[in-house]
């Protein structure tokens, strides 16, 4: 008579394994305080996630524009040049910075308040802060460049990119900030005054090659300026090395559809590659 196979030896129970894992000593390291001023970033992310954002990534040949930039009598950064090119396209397409007013109306502003991202050290933390250039569509690329350079050194917590009012606001408790944001998003005129109408963020300076970000923002339109890379293109059948910049346009799909965004990107690309912002 054959004997039945013996049961495999039982190991420790799941609860025992769990207790063992929880009782392990913690990994070596240190804890530091989370900077409260990063509420600025958390709030922008929360507001940005409320948008149904579509993204359009593309590239543009700026070789000729870079040659002209290097010969400018006054310095103009690539970011300022690209931003001015965007503003020229917006002058022809003002609906690209429309904002909903209630459920039945849109507001199309005459001026473009351009919100630039400027990286600054603030209270021991390095943060991407917002600097708003008012009526930026009425300014030259040189003027935008000067404003950006000033924003990088302006005192923070006073009237610079992080004003005294903003600093106080972003240190408030979450529930209080949410109530204020609810009011801000309900009125596009208030939103324009506090946040601008169009955002530009430039991270391409920190890398190289084919790279561009898809940021989360509460704006109707956001331009992300990526890296500039060398690419071989055919010119009259011969390979030629050209400078190509990578870009992304993020748009609120509640207001802007895919086809209008594509047409706008084509106008923007024409302005950019033609160097119209330097005229």
Which residues fall within 8 angstroms of residue 189, CB to CB, at 6 or more apart?
107
119-178: pLDDT as tens digits: 888 777 788 888 999 999 999 999 999 999 999 888 887 666 888 888 889 999 999 999
Question: Do the Cβ atoms of 194 and 184 come closer than 8 Å?
Answer: yes
pTM of the model: 0.89
Give me the torsion for CA of 111, 117, 121, 123, rounded to 10°.
60
Q: Where are the alpha helices (DSSP H) in the chain?
A: 14-22, 39-48, 63-70, 78-92, 141-151, 164-170, 174-186, 188-195, 258-274
Cα angle: 112, vertex 113, 117; to 5 degrees: 125
- The pLDDT of residue 224 is 97
53-112: pLDDT as tens digits: 999 999 999 999 999 999 999 999 999 999 999 999 999 999 999 999 999 999 999 999
For residue 5, name the pLDDT band (cuts at 50, 70, 90): low
Domains parsed from the chain with CATH numbers: 37-273 (3.30.559.10)
Say if residue 11's pLDDT is above 70.
no
As given in the structure block, the two tokens for residue 67 are 């040659």
Provide mean pLDDT across the span 30-41: 88
Instruction: Tell which wins on pLDDT, 9 or 266.
Output: 266
Question: Do the Cβ atoms of 50 and 243 come closer than 8 Å?
Answer: no
Cβ atoms within 10 A of the Cβ of 266, count?
Answer: 12
Helix (H, G, I), strand (E, B) or coil at 75: coil
- The pLDDT of residue 125 is 76
Residues 156 and 193: their CA atoms lie apart, in Å, by 19
């Amino acid at each position: 008579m054959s004997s039945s196979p013996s049961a495999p030896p039982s190991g420790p129970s799941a609860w025992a394994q769990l207790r063992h894992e929880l009782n392990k000593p913690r990994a070596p390291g240190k804890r530091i305080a989370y900077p409260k001023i990063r509420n600025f970033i958390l709030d922008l992310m929360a507001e940005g996630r409320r948008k149904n954002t579509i993204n359009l990534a593309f590239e543009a040949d700026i070789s000729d524009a870079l040659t002209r930039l290097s010969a400018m009598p006054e310095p103009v950064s690539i970011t300022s040049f690209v931003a001015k090119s965007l503003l020229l396209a917006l002058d022809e397409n003002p609906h690209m910075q429309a904002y909903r007013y209630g459920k039945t109306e849109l507001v199309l502003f005459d001026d473009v308040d351009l919100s630039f991202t400027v990286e600054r050290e603030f209270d021991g933390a390095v943060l991407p802060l917002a600097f708003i250039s008012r009526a930026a569509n009425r300014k030259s690329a040189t003027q935008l460049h000067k404003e950006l350079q000033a924003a990088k050194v302006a005192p923070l917590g006073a009237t610079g990119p992080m004003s005294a009012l903003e600093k106080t606001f972003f240190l408030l408790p979450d529930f209080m900030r949410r109530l204020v944001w609810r009011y801000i998003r309900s009125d596009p005129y208030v939103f324009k005054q506090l946040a601008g109408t169009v955002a530009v963020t430039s991270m391409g300076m920190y890398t190289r090659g084919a790279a561009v970000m898809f940021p989360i923002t509460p704006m109707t339109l956001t331009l992300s300026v990526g890296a500039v890379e060398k690419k071989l293109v055919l010119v009259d059948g011969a390979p030629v090395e050209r400078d190509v910049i990578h870009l992304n346009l993020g748009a609120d799909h509640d207001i802007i559809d895919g086809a209008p965004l594509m047409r706008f990107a084509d106008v923007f690309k024409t302005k950019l590659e033609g160097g119209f912002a330097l005229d």
